């Protein structure tokens, strides 16, 4: 052996496998982090849908005249945009190509004019959810609160 040293084949092979193992671990960790961020965004949508469903249930439980005001955030932390819709079966939400559902007490949902409808809730707006009585039936009216 001379003073410059010798690079053995087993050293090259072990270095190659170490680099391959490290790069694979970094790729797996990156994909796991992306998955966690995506799931966090869907969790925020689910929490928002549950909050709106809870507001509807509170209005139903409070009896005629009970009003609950819900303010929707302009956007969720980990999603670009979202949409919510309320109908007589529950609250539906869409974000990042995924759809969620949160159920409510079976009740008739109406728009601000009293027409039974499926109500679209827009991000960044404030809505009034009010329990009214029509023909001895519980009717939940959803209307936008104007400032």
Say if CB 68 and CB 129 are below 8 A apart.
yes
Strands 108-110 and 137-144 turn out to be: parallel
Mean pLDDT along residues 26-52: 85
CA distance 128 to 110: 12
CA distance 67 to 129: 6
Choice among 25-29, 34-38, 67-71 with the minimum mean pLDDT: 34-38
Give the distance from CA 100 to its chain's centroid: 7
pLDDT value, residue 5: 60
pLDDT value, residue 116: 86
């Amino acid at each position: 052996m001379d003073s410059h040293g010798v690079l053995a084949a087993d050293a090259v092979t072990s270095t190659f496998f170490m680099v391959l193992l490290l790069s694979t671990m970094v790729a797996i960790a990156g994909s796991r982090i992306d998955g966690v961020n995506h799931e966090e965004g869907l969790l925020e949508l689910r929490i928002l849908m549950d909050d709106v469903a809870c507001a509807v249930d509170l209005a139903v439980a409070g009896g005629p005249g009970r009003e609950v005001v819900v303010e929707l955030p302009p956007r969720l932390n980990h999603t670009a945009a979202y949409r919510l819709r309320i109908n007589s079966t529950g609250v539906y939400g869409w974000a990042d190509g995924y759809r969620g559902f949160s159920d409510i007490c079976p009740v008739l949902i109406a728009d601000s004019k009293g027409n039974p409808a499926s109500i679209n809730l827009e991000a960044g707006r404030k809505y009034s959810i009010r329990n009214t009585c029509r023909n001895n039936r519980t009717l939940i009216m959803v209307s936008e609160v104007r400032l």
